[in-house]
Amino acid sequence: MTHYLLALAGNQNCGKTTLFNCLTGSNQHVGNFPGVTVEKKEGPLLKNHELSIVDLPGIYSLSPYTSEEVVTRDFILRENPDAVINIVDATNIERNLYLTLQLMELNIPMVIALNMMDEVRASGNSIDVKKLSDHLGIPIVPISASKKEGISELVHTVKKIATGPKKPPMKLDFCRGPVHRAIHAIAHIIEDHAQEAGYPVRFAATKLVEGDRPMQEALHIDPGDQHIIDHIVEDMERDLGTDREAALADMRYSYIEEICADCVIKHQETREQVRSEKMDKLLTHKYFGIPIFLGIMLLIFWLTFSVIGAPLQELLENGIGFLTGELAHLLAASGVSPWLQSLLIDGVCAGVGSVLSFLPLIVLLFFFLSLLEDSGYMARVAFVMDKLLRKIGLSGRSFVPMLIGFGCSVPAIMATRTLSSDRDRRMTILLTPFMSCSAKLPIYGMITAAFFPQNGGVVMFAMYVLGILVAILSGLLLKNTAFKGKPIPFVMELPAYRFPSARSVLLHMWEKAKDFLRKAFTIIFIASLVIWFLQSLDWKLNLVEDSANSILASIGSAIAPIFTPLGFGDWRASTALITGLTAKESVVSTLAILTGASSDAQLGGILQTMFTPLSAFSFLAFTILYMPCVAAFAASRRELGSWKAAAGTALYQTGAAYVVSLLIFQVGRLFL
């Protein structure tokens, strides 16, 4: 069976995801492009396994500056798809065609899916599709991805192009004057180099005119030729009175203006654009904009964590509890050996079960997040909050993931996928766990009840502030070290508000739920097993009655001295920190078990013998800052795309926790 590969390329916010969902349904495989954390979605075209379609990242150009753009051009050049579907937003056609002109140079059979044609027509504007197609020399199919109009015609055209005989190269006569001369002169010089390196000549020549460094390196041009090329470009720049990059951008846009003048009749803005402008009068209002945003987030948190999420979570917990109970009965009745019973019940069921009960929260949170994203509001959040995050080297786009971090780091880290820059994504994943998540509340409760009963609120507030402070300091530190290099400029489109499609929202939720379940049954499952082994066995692999004799306890004792300078060298504290990795609230239950406390009051009393108020404060600081739980670690591994990067992130977080607690304890000691 011949297999055909299709690529879907287009700008951000042009309905690309909606179209991809239309074309593949729920039959999607989500992964990353090799070597980068740029998401790659793949699926068969309408259940036809002969044709698979890859969703390329949403980009505006094929410049060499962002990993999304580089991935796109590498994919098209290296994987050599049988056809490219270029989705173009008809309501914003000038800027969308800019990418089209660059894709055309890659010399792959192409079809344009002219999306949102319904909106263009409804507002009394029109586009002469036939004429536009003739100008570009590419078949164009008008569609409406959200209303599923024109899809079958698009599929028909794509199939014909992908499976038909390869056409001669498209006409590429959109360059004029000095740029035209430069491109053709350079094309002549590098023809052999380009063919050898496997690049379309025209694309390579254009890139050399632009001064594209990766292309210069890939072609291995000898110094003599390079000298001539430089000369040609200098001549062009002198003739045009502008530099090379501006010359090419100007050439493309001039050509687009020319053909749009011929094919596009635009009397007025579309209804959606007019409506958006009105909505923004309120949503990005000078005084109301920020309160409205905070109000929306508060509403989402309230709905997720209490109104809808809490009952669902309780229901799931009860369900898991019931099943665990039944399984325990069954195991006991069938006379399975006690250690296996303990392994399955106390290890697997308890470990995976406690994490699994977070599923409703995560699904709900992503329901709301995709509403925000798909409606176009997320771009406004970035617009409104950008100034706050700029100083630490991030943009407004990172604000929402960080805010979600106060609820739970897992969805927060998963939410970084919508960030358009690889660098911002990595940095946000690193900083988000410093936002104190809700699982840490029981720890605050335990420590404040025992040591700061009068000032519980103040201590808790101090912890939240400490987390934010460490994130800010880390941002300042990292933007000049590990994340050096220019951030991607904050030049962002504010798309028209649109009603999110139920299908996209549901698919998004399903994808995130699947992702989380996979984690729960792999890494979290394994982590639960390991912790159970360490907690239930001694070094001779006998089951222990008292967990103080377990392997875990002896590891805790062994590493306890490391924490002596921080004020909590007690082995029970360090053991609790290890179990806290399965879920942060385990710190409390472990301390209760290891101290043999039977009530909160008793636990408080014992804690007072283990800690001084200062060392308790230092312990608390360490607990909120050190690496997040396994579920969050698994999420960051997935989003970062490598174990190494995830481990580095965890190491940094734990290191930061150590330094901060050390400072708190040692400096505090001087005064107390």
Interface positions with other proteins (CB under 8 A): 60-61, 63, 65-66, 91-95, 98, 242, 245-246, 249-250, 253, 266, 269, 276-277, 280, 284-287, 289-290, 379, 382-384, 386-388, 390, 486, 488-496
In our burial notation (b when 16+ CB lie closer than 10 A, e otherwise), range 234-262 reads eebbeebeeebeebbeebbeebbeebbee
> From the centroid of its chain, how far is CA 141?
32
Q: How far is CA 446 from the centre of its chain?
A: 34
Residue 328 or 492 having the CB closest to other proteins: 492
Closer CB to other proteins, 178 or 309, in the complex = 178
Of 11 and 157, nearer to other proteins (C-beta) is 11
Q: Which is nearer to other proteins, 65 or 322 (CB)?
A: 65
**Nearer of residues 65 and 461 to other proteins, judged by Cβ:** 65
**Shortest spacing between CB 128 and other proteins, in angstroms:** 17
- Strand order, beta sheet including 39-45: 29-32, 39-45, 48-55, 4-10, 83-89, 110-115, 140-142
Min dist. Cβ of residue 285 to other proteins (A): 7
The vertex-373 CA angle with 395 and 249, nearest 5°, equals 60
| Rounded Cα–Cα distance for residues 495 and 607 (Å) | 55
Q: How far apart are alpha carbons 330 and 336 in whole angstroms?
A: 9
223 with 176: CB under 8 angstroms?
no
Q: How far is the CB of 111 from other proteins (least distance, A)?
A: 23
Q: How far is the CB of 164 from other proteins (least distance, A)?
A: 32
Of 269 and 346, which CB lies nearer to other proteins in the complex structure? 269
- Output the CA–CA distances (angstroms, integers) from residue 45 to 19, 48, 55, 485, 567, in the order listed: 11, 5, 11, 39, 61
- Helix 16-24 and helix 151-163, axial crossing angle in degrees, nearest 10: 80
Q: How far apart are CA 184 and CA 575, in angstroms?
A: 70
Question: Given the complex with other proteins, which of 444 and 497 has the nearer CB atom?
Answer: 497
Q: Give backbone dihedrals phi and psi of 406, rounded to 5 degrees, phi first.
A: -70, -25
Query: Based on CB atoms, which residue is closest to other proteins, 121 or 266?
Result: 266
SS (H, E, C) 211-248: CCHHHHHHHCCCHHHHHHHHHHHHHHHHHHCCCHHHHH
Amino acid at 588: V
Q: What is the number of other CB atoms lying within 10 angstroms of the CB of residue 124? A: 12
Q: Minimum distance from CB of 452 to other proteins (Å)? A: 35
Question: What residues pair up with 88 in beta bridges, in sequence order?
Answer: 114
Identify whether the C-beta of residue 14 lies closer than 8 Å to the C-beta of residue 89.
yes
Least distance in Å: CB of 387 to other proteins? 4
Least distance from C-beta 483 to other proteins, angstroms?
15
Q: What are the DSSP E strand ranges found in 568-670?
A: none
Smallest gap, in angstroms, from Cβ of residue 63 to other proteins? 5
What is the smallest separation between the CB atom of 242 and other proteins, expressed in angstroms?
A: 7
Reduced to 3 states (helix: H, G, I; strand: E, B; else coil), residue 398 is: helix
CB of 180 to other proteins, least distance (A): 17
Nearer residue to other proteins within complex by CB, 79 or 243 = 243
Nearest to other proteins of 65, 521 (CB atom) = 65
